Amino acid sequence: MFDGRKLNLVNLHLLSAATNMKLHQLDCWREHIKNHTLRRIELSSSLAGLRQYGSHPRFPTIVAGDFNAPANDSVHRIMRKEFTDSFDAVGTGWGNTFHRALPLLRIDYIYGSSKLIPVRSQTFTRNNTDHRMVVSDFIYR
């Protein structure tokens, strides 16, 4: 930060969700399970790297991006152990982010560590993307 304080910032884009809807087939369920497992591994690896190279949890940390997973997905349980979902805590308006034209899913998130307090969070429509943008403000605890 300009005043000398440190902040870890991680931008994620986790593996896209499986879209196979042949739910009557066993292979479909295997594909979904494999995809889900890979997303959790991606996130766990990113957080492990953050701890090893990014001074987390010593410094405040923001983890943000496309998690490709709705709020009830277990990938978020990994995050909620140490982080606060800013939109869930203080968000206003429609929080769903995908698809921009008809946002039915919330798959984009901004998480702050316990050294940060979320004070405001909203989503906005922007051109040149198929997602709505999440913007959150934090203050140091």
> What gap in Å lies between CA 32 and CA 23, rounded to an integer?
10
Please give the pLDDT value at position 12. 94
Q: Write out the two tokens for 48.
A: 């492990």
| pLDDT(127) > 90 | no
pLDDT of 19 reads 77
**SS3 category, 118:** strand
| Segments of the chain assigned E as strands | 8-13, 61-66, 83-85, 108-113, 116-124, 133-140
| Structure confidence by residue, pLDDT tens digits, 50-92 | 988 878 888 999 999 999 998 888 899 999 999 999 999 999 9
Quote the percentage of the chain above a pLDDT of 70. 99
Q: Is residue 17 pLDDT above 90, yes or no?
A: no
Q: Is the pTM of this model over 0.85?
A: yes
Burial 56-72 (b: 16+ CB within 10 A, else e): beeebbbbbbbbbbeee
The residue written with tokens 């902040």 in the block is 7
Question: Angle at CA 101, nearest 5°, toward 119 and 103?
Answer: 50
CATH class of 8-140: alpha beta
The pLDDT confidence band at residue 45, using thresholds 50, 70 and 90, is very high
Q: Encode pLDDT of 19-30 as tens digits.
A: 778 888 888 889
